[in-house]
A and B are shown apart, each in its own frame.
Chain A
Amino acid sequence: MNIMNLVNALPGAVAQGLIWGIMAIGVYITFRILDIADMTVDGTLCTGAAVCIMMMQSGQNVWISMAVAIVAGMMAGLMTGLLHTFMGIPAILSGILTQLGLYSINLKIMGKANQAINVDKFDLLVSLRYIKNVSFFENTIFIVAAVIVLLILVLYWFFGTELGCSLRATGCNDKMARAQGINTDFSRVLALMLANGLVALAGSMLGQYQGFADINMGRGAIVIGLAAIIIGEAVFGKVFRNFGFKLLGAVLGSIIYYFVLQIVIWLGIDTDLLKLLSAVVVAIFLAVPYWKGRYFSKPVKRGGNH
């Protein structure tokens, strides 16, 4: 248990945490703004990676490959949205159906269960090889951080527009939203597309980072996204009130998650148990607000007679 092993692993943890942070932002849009736990993302993450890597293997530029990956992710979100709104299937089940369908689609995209991409042969944007001994502006941590800052700025602007406000109103109170003339079905579909586009972007970066896309890479992704959100809220909830900072909180939560993961690995815990550990941690964190309300609530006097 050499402490230097842990220290050496930390930059990698930051890079991974940041990439998963993009995915956490996507999950934030569905889980916190739309009030839906979107199970699609488990499939979309792999779709993003698979599309990006297959396009690059066929000689496409990294930017175009990532852009197409985002579009593919949005199509997955569109599918879930249509299952939910047009076909009236409950949101969770819609996500599960799309996710299951994506398993086959991802296999067809890749042709087999995994596809590698060699960092020496292709001009990758991010890679685990670009963390040490590269110039600052080529460093994966810098690049992903810059992408995140840009994303947060764009999303902050978007959710302040008329259209963005109508999405927020739909998630908060859809009866009110319809009474104010908002097409709540359209809002839901749009938010799901936006979220899954972001998750596919995260997938395309994760695929490059680890040098391969794998059919199972998205398994439990929703849980990691939720973990990042609730860790972020638990740690920074008191200081991060602004919407943009809340998104940043989810990203930082994701980094913390990967830090803890590295420590757990360093401590020598059986890595087979990691997913179980994640599930338990998320379950407990999700239960805390419920328990607080049920068992520790003090009677609160509501203000005013009016």
Chain B
Amino acid sequence: MLELRNIYKTFNAGTINEKRALKNVSLTLEDGDFVTVIGGNGAGKSTMLNAIAGVWPVDEGQIIIDGQDVTKLPEHKRAALLGRVFQDPMNGTAATMGIEENLALALRRGQSRTLRAGIKGNEREAYKKLLSTLGLGLEDRLTSKVGLLSGGQRQALTLLMATLKKPKLLLLDEHTAALDPKTAAKVLETTDMIVNRDRLTTLMITHNMKDAIMHGNRLIMMMDGNIILDIRGEEKKKLTVEDLLRKFEEVSGEQFASDKALLG
């Protein structure tokens, strides 16, 4: 479903701030894979997701989604294949527009925007039904401005928007990191529900090792612009935090330093 071939990306090349963010990253995701991504700050997790999403062009390498080479496609064209949820709840929705208007924008992802009505009457019923699956009471607030919603509500809505038109690949960039633990757990639950329901191929970055182990069928760890661990199948099912830390030390030869990743 997704294939990254030898991706390189360097920021601020040739300056004192030069940062080689991705160094020869290759990754293949099978159809229906739910992959969790962990790694410390600056490991290249978000950079990898942004490379896939096309936020900027990569320096070298090839990105193939669902058999289509998208390496040269601009961000808004790749969006037809992708669903995205960001770390900052403010980023995924349009605050000054209503809940239904946001959903209507998402329903038209990948289509050309014409002079037809931005939202049709019969869409509303479908939105209501969908919103009610979140259990947040949003189904009664279709016309409320999204800016009035809490961070957790906005992330749940963004999840719905990202998956309203079934994406070839769902990209979750630490989408629960800005939420309180209770809300984060609820949004993760919703994530599992949607991913399982639609059998979505998913890449989920998290700071939390426990979450990375509990969710998905495959786990990759990044460090210093490389993928250093790739655990799947039975091994992934039996994985514990201690296993993961030991493996990390074996592979990298250093202690895992981030308390946040341990305790998060």
Binary flags per residue of A159-175, CB closer than 8 Å to B gives 1, else 0: 01111111011001101
Residues 244 to 295 of chain A near chain B (Cβ within 8 Å): none
Residues of chain B within 8 A of A163, CB atoms compared: 113-115
A306 with B156, Cβ < 8 A, contacts A166-B105, A175-B86, A180-B161 known? yes
In the assembled complex, B136 has its CB within 8 A of some CB on chain A = yes
In the assembled complex, B196 has its CB within 8 A of some CB on chain A = no
A178 engages B94 (CB within 8 Å): no
- How distant is the Cα of A127 from the Cα of B79 in the complex, in angstroms? 51
- How distant is the Cα of A163 from the Cα of B104 in the complex, in angstroms? 12
Binding site for A on B (CB under 8 A): 53, 74-77, 79-80, 82, 84, 86, 90-97, 101, 104-106, 108-111, 113-119, 136, 148-150, 152-153, 156, 161-162, 180, 182-183, 186
A161 engages B118 (CB within 8 Å): yes
Question: Top 10 nearest A-B pairs by Cβ distance?
Answer: A181-B79, A165-B118, A306-B152, A172-B94, A162-B113, A304-B150, A181-B109, A163-B113, A166-B113, A179-B84
A169 engages B183 (CB within 8 Å): no
Residues of chain B within 8 A of A178, CB atoms compared: 75-76, 79
A232 nearest CB across to chain B (Å):
17
Residues of chain A within 8 A of B162, CB atoms compared: 179
In the assembled complex, A105 has its CB within 8 A of some CB on chain B = no
A180 with B105, Cβ < 8 A, contacts A163-B115, A306-B153 known? yes
Residues 91 to 138 of chain A near chain B (Cβ within 8 Å): none
- How distant is the Cα of A178 from the Cα of B86 in the complex, in angstroms? 13
A181 engages B110 (CB within 8 Å): yes
Secondary structure of the B contact surface, majority rule: loop
Of the candidates A169, A183, A303, A306, which one forms a contact with B186 in the assembled complex, judged by CB atoms under 8 Å apart?
Answer: A306
A169 engages B94 (CB within 8 Å): yes
B77 nearest CB across to chain A (Å):
7
A164 engages B77 (CB within 8 Å): no
B106 engages A180 (CB within 8 Å): yes
Residues of chain A within 8 A of B118, CB atoms compared: 160-162, 164-165
Residues of chain A within 8 A of B74, CB atoms compared: 183
B152 engages A183 (CB within 8 Å): no
A306 with B136, Cβ < 8 A, contacts A160-B117, A161-B116, A183-B76 known? yes
A179 engages B186 (CB within 8 Å): no
Residues of chain A within 8 A of B92, CB atoms compared: 176, 179
A161 with B115, Cβ < 8 A, contacts A180-B109, A303-B150 known? yes
A302 engages B150 (CB within 8 Å): yes
A165 with B105, Cβ < 8 A, contacts A160-B117, A173-B94, A173-B95 known? yes
B94 engages A305 (CB within 8 Å): no
In the assembled complex, A177 has its CB within 8 A of some CB on chain B = yes
- How distant is the Cα of A182 from the Cα of B97 in the complex, in angstroms? 15
